[in-house]
A and B are shown apart, each in its own frame.
Chain A
Amino acid sequence: MIRPSIQARHALARLTLPVMVVTAFGLMLVGKVDTVLVERARIAVYDASAPIYAALAEPLGQMNRLVTEVVSLWGLRDENARLRDENEHLRRWQSIALTLDAENRRLKTALHWIPDPEASYVTARVVADAGGVYAKAVLLSVGPNHGLRKGQIALDERGLVGRITEVGRRTARVLLITDMNSRVPVILEGTHAHAILAGTNGPWPRLLYWSEGTVPKEGERVVTSAEADAFPANLPVGTVRYNANGVPEIEPDALLRDLDIVRIFDYGLSGFASPETPARPTQGHR
């Protein structure tokens, strides 16, 4: 084997850094030209590392639960009193809800109401933070042949979490409603006024473009609207709160910071385009 001289090796070593910098610029161009390829590469990396995350999910979950339990021990007495009050309050609401439910069913029967078809869902565990610094997203671990598609809706046990934007063989990425690229058509429940919920990357997404003359009220419930065929109607999103600058925001119902298990619903909707989808489809892909 021919060994290069020491000088030649030094010269080669000095050249590596500039060559790599040029390659990085080249990579930048590739990233701009072929977004689909980049998206596939990302999800392939997450797919490949999914077993590590799946294995870590259980011990990490246990650790989190332990920490939560230890923290909650401090405020046990206050928490108990608060829960007792809340229980009392909810009991009253339960009796009202039962009466209304019975009345609703009676009225629907009288009107020969055709019920909405039940949406099918799968449950998946959140295994990694897949947002990076500039986005809010989570990675779900799903089994092979999961049948998930882009645009399906993710909910936790309380409310809307987000939408699926990328699907791999063993993983799926959910863009949260708090992401700055997320836009959700919503309805203010009190006034039935339409608005758009826009993520800011902060914990409270903002309300935009509500109808003239209907100002969102503090504490008003906000649900999804079926406009644009991206979401089904009436999924719980959150409640209105005003921030210090007087801007209406939403306190999400879903526990977006402590997501563990989410349900992915297939409502068979078509009006969805991922924020990463290129404006013009690239030839040779999809």
Chain B
Amino acid sequence: MAQGDRFPGVRPHLTIGRRLDIAWRHAFPGTTSLLLMLLSVAHFGLWGQAALLPTVALTCVWFWSLFRPAAMAPPVTFLVGLLLDLLGFLPLGVGPLTMLATHGVAQGLRRFLSRQGFAVVWLIFTSVACGIAAMNWALVSLLTLSLVPAGPVLFQAGLAAAMYPAVAIPLTLAHRSFADPDLA
């Protein structure tokens, strides 16, 4: 609920600066997800860096679908998935489908998870990451008509589970402060 609705009466005039501020806060989840994905393929020279891109995409989609579904609507989720396909050299369609599945699961569990603590959300995320990894593997195998090795997706699921706090904690802080449209 917007701040203004809780206190009906005369509302302040929306200046251009304030409008931009509100727009930025609404666009924050989608924009930062896409930017983080672009950054995650930069040449860090890390071992197993290829798994970073799907990890970032999955965590962002899960987090925002759960805590700000209006800003991570299905079209935005689709876009994140498409960028995942293009940057990650996956067969086209795999990224959008897996990301939309993540969004769907987060939407379904939203009511339940909103009453749970961080650890439970993390635990559920870990099982979602495993499911998405299996889905990813099955879709890629189907689309390339070959059994691709399962090792990389297992590693990807493990990395996503391990890295969840590192991504989710800064996102939570942003969500509660400078990215919250209600605080604009």
- Which residue numbers of A lie inside 8 Å of B, CB to CB? 16-17, 19-21, 23-32, 38, 41-42, 45-46, 49, 52-53, 56-57, 60, 64, 126-135, 137-139, 180, 201, 257-258
Residue of chain B at shortest CB distance from A44? B86
CB atoms of B50 and A132 under 8 A apart = yes
CB atoms of B51 and A133 under 8 A apart = yes
Q: Indicate which residue in A19, A24, A26, A257 contacts B45 across the interface (CB closer than 8 Å).
A: A257
Q: Give the chain B neighbours of A131 by CB distance below 8 A.
A: 50, 89
Main secondary structure of the interface of A (DSSP, over half): helix
Q: Mark B59-82, 1 if CB is under 8 A from A, else 0.
A: 000000000000001110110011
For residues 62 through 116 of chain B, which have their beta carbon under 8 Å from a beta carbon of chain A?
A: 73-75, 77-78, 81-83, 85-94, 96-97, 100, 103-104, 107
CB atoms of B50 and A56 under 8 A apart = no
CA distance A39 to B178 in the complex (A): 38
Q: Indicate which residue in A45, A56, A60, A134 contacts B87 across the interface (CB closer than 8 Å).
A: A45
Interface band, chain B: 35 or more
A–B complex contacts, Cβ < 8 Å, 21 sampled: A17-B107, A19-B74, A20-B74, A21-B97, A24-B100, A27-B92, A28-B93, A31-B143, A45-B83, A52-B42, A53-B42, A56-B43, A57-B43, A60-B42, A60-B43, A129-B43, A131-B89, A132-B50, A132-B88, A133-B90, A257-B47
Given A21-B100, A27-B92, A42-B89, is A201 in contact with B152 using a C-beta cutoff of 8 Å? yes
Q: Mark B12-44, 1 if CB is under 8 A from A, else 0.
A: 000000000000000000000000001101111
Separation in Å of the B97 CB from the closest CB of chain A? 5
Q: Indicate which residue in B50, B90, B93, B103 contacts A129 across the interface (CB closer than 8 Å).
A: B50
Residue of chain B at shortest CB distance from A126? B43
Q: Give the chain B neighbours of A128 by CB distance below 8 A.
A: 41-43
- Which residue numbers of B lie inside 8 Å of A, CB to CB? 38-39, 41-45, 47, 49-51, 53-54, 73-75, 77-78, 81-83, 85-94, 96-97, 100, 103-104, 107, 136, 140, 143, 148-149, 152-153, 156
Separation in Å of the B100 CB from the closest CB of chain A? 5
CA distance A127 to B143 in the complex (A): 29
CB atoms of A24 and B78 under 8 A apart = yes
Residue of chain A at shortest CB distance from B148? A134
Residue of chain A at shortest CB distance from B156? A133
Interface centre among A20, A21, A201 (most CB of B within 10 A): A20
Interface centre among A17, A24, A180 (most CB of B within 10 A): A24
Separation in Å of the A122 CB from the closest CB of chain B? 19
CA distance A93 to B149 in the complex (A): 43
CB atoms of A130 and B97 under 8 A apart = no
Q: Indicate which residue in A17, A19, A133 contacts B104 across the interface (CB closer than 8 Å).
A: A17
CB atoms of A28 and B83 under 8 A apart = no
CA distance A23 to B38 in the complex (A): 23
Question: Which 4 residue pairs across A and B have the least CB separation, nearest first?
Answer: A31-B92, A28-B93, A132-B88, A132-B89
CA distance A32 to B93 in the complex (A): 10
Residue of chain A at shortest CB distance from B151? A201
CB atoms of B43 and A24 under 8 A apart = no
Q: Give the chain B neighbours of A26 by CB distance below 8 A.
A: 93
